[in-house]
Structure formats: structure tokens, C-alpha cells
Amino acid sequence: MPQIRVAVAGAGIAGLTFAAALHRGGIDCHVYEQAEQLTEVGAGIQVAPNATRLLHRLGLRDRLRAVAVAPQAIEMRRWDDGRLLQRTPLGSMCRRRFGAPYYAVHRADLHSGLLSLVPPDRVHLGARLDAVTQSADEARLRLSDGTTVAADLVVGADGIHSIMREQIVADQPRYSGQTIYRGLVPAERVPFLLTDPRVQLWLGPDQHLVCYPVSSGRQVSFGATVSASDWREESWSARGDVAELATAYAGWHPDVARLIGAAETVSRWALHDRQSIDRLSSGRVTVIGDAAHPMLPFQAQGANQAIEDAVVLAVCLADAGPGGLSAALRRYERIRLPRTTRIQRQSRDNAKTFHLVDGDAQRRRDTSAQASSGLDRHEWLFGYDAEEATTTSRSS
């Protein structure tokens, strides 16, 4: 699609991946980000093979290898006695099977890597979006400083509170009734968690905790989920109270107590998602990542699906001929919606499964988890190649 003008709202993981994928395909775009500067925020994220293979192709193979940690397994344990409920092998076994590694990485490291793939003059900071309008010929972004940007296509990568999504559907974020405390702990304070690098989860009544090493093993990132009806704030900078968190996890396994005790500060984030929708585009506006399908973090796939979205949309646009924008957007929807809807639903289901109170249902969950250890059950998720799926769709 020669000389198409693409504007992207949001310079997070979704927006920068999309810009990098477009740049690789020879399509120019401009990214508009409301933040005045891109600072090192957030904690750890898990990047599964379905996303790392795409990041490698974009040019981040060496950079990820330098800053990420390749966990040897994902282990789920019981909240009080630490009994192993399920172990999913990762490491070299995962890499051989799926052709790409499973990584744990600091969000800021991934973000800076993606930023390095986009020409600096294509990322505009301090550009807060006020509104978007569109006609048959173009879409127009109105920024808070009065600037208007015209484009053939506007892509909303502007998160769960997306202004772009309002062009497609009238809905609101749904509060899950849970918040998550996130923290980073220097590795030397919790050496017992690093002898065999793993993603570890402790599951218990109404809450759970996950942790894993990041930053080349220099830090351990953790996320501790608790039920809360009185906390609705969503901000990386919103401070939580370490003492309150420790109280919420009183009586849990000693490793959990030691990890929380090693944290000096934590952030606190209210967990929201939205209902699945049956389309991702309207006219000359489309959405990717959390703007399209915000997920609870209980499948560890939010960033991964944003990366898949970005690459698929970029390929669809690169394949489109003159006048083919509408067809490209329909193709993008057709490829992405079944998969993201399934993962979004499973993420919500896990919010219940992870937090069962002790009793019959919890024992059935534990028995089922022990019987389904291994990589087979992840084939549909980790083995998926978004670019290959897009290529296959050309002839369908």
C-alpha cells in the first residue's frame, strides 16, 4: 500500500511493536504519545515463544538475550505448605519444541529495545490525544495542544481506556474486584529464589503471588493479587503499602513472606478488563493490544497478544494493494479475534481457578493440575506463529 499515512496513538509495547513492524515492511508511520518522556516504569513481564519469535524477527534477538532471563520452568505451588501442584518445563526443552525461548524481562528493557527499532523522529512525546474524527477520505487526530494530524489509518494502541475504541464500540472497563501489588527486589536479598531460575506461583484462597527473575538475574519481579473493593486506581506510579501487603499474605509459605519482606516499595494497580468485541475496526480506525482486548494478567499473555496484533496488522497492511485498506482491516480482524477472545476468556477464568478456597473444588483443581503438567497443553498458545497464520490467510 504505497504512501499510506499511518498514525499510532500510544508508544507502549503495542504501539512501538507495530511501528517497528511497519518500518520493517517499508511503511512509514508516526507515533503520538501523551507522556512528556518515556521513563523506566513497570516491573516484569513474561514473553512466551509466540511473541519472542516475532521480536527476534524484528531484530531484538541479541538484545533480549542480553537483558532477559530464560526460566527453566513454571511452577505452581500450594499457598501454605508450598506443595508442588504443576510444573511446566521451559528452558532448552521449550526452545527446541517451539523454536523460540520463553523469557522473563523487565518491561522497561523490552520497551527500550522496541524504541530502538523506530526512527526517533517518528515518535512524538507530549502529544495527548483529545479526539479522533474521520471521513470517507481520511481520519484526523486532534491533540491537546490544538494540533491536528491527518492520516489514512489511525491505530489505537492507547490502552484499556482507549479513546480510539470509542470509535468502534460503546463500553467501559470492568473492575475485577482485585488489585495487584507489583514490586522489584534485588536478587541478593532473595537468593533462595535464584538457585534454579523459575516462574513461581503460590495459589491460595482469594489471592495468589507470582515471581520470577528479570534484568539478567539482578532483580526478582513479583505480582501479588488480592481482593479489594475500595481500590480503583490504575497507574504504574500509584504506591502500595508493603506492610498492608505483608498482612494480606500472613500465614502463607515462608518463601512468600521472605520475598515480600525484602521489598522496600510496591506499586498497586486495580485490575480491569473489558468484554470481548466482535470487530476491531470502524472505517479508518482500528485498535491493537489493550485497546482491543484488555486482559486480566492471569494467563501472562497481555503483552504477547499485543505483539501478535501489531505484527499481524503490519503484514496485512503491507500486503494490501491500492484501495485495499478495508480488506486489510477485515483480514486483521478475521485472524486475531478468535484467538484473542479465547485468551481473554481464559485469563478471566483463571482469576477464579487460581483463587479457590480450600475445599473440594480446590482439590479437584490441584488433581487436574498435576495430571496436565508438561508442554503439550501449551502447544496452541506457544506454538502459534502469528506471521505464518497471516501468510496462510492470503490464500484462504
Contact 277, 171 (CB under 8 A): yes
* Helix, strand or coil, per DSSP, at residue 35: coil
The candidate with the shortest Cα–Cα distance to 210, out of 45, 13, 378, is 45
How many residues are there in the chain? 396
Phi, psi of 214 (to 5 degrees): -140, -175
Cell numbers for 343, please give them: 485468551
Q: Are 290 and 165 in contact (CB under 8 A)?
A: no
In terms of C-beta density within 10 A (0-12 exposed, 13-18 middle, 19 or more buried), how is residue 71 classed? buried
Q: Residue 76 corresponds to which amino acid?
A: M
CA angle, 299 then 167 then 19, to 5°: 60
Q: Provide φ and ψ at 184, rounded to 5°.
A: -125, 130
Which of 294, 231, 239, 298 shows the shortest CA–CA distance to 265?
Answer: 239
Pairwise CA distance, residues 87 & 74, whole Å? 6
Report the C-alpha gap between 375 and 93 in whole angstroms.
9
181 is catalytic: no
Q: Which of 212, 249, 332, 384 is catalytic?
A: 212
Write out the E strands in the chain: 6-9, 29-32, 44-47, 73-78, 84-89, 103-106, 123-124, 129-134, 139-143, 148-151, 153-156, 174-186, 199-204, 207-214, 219-227, 267-273, 281-282, 285-287
Q: What is the DSSP string of 315-350?
A: HHHHH--TT-HHHHHHHHHHHHHHHHHHHHHHHHHH
Catalytic residue positions?
Answer: 212
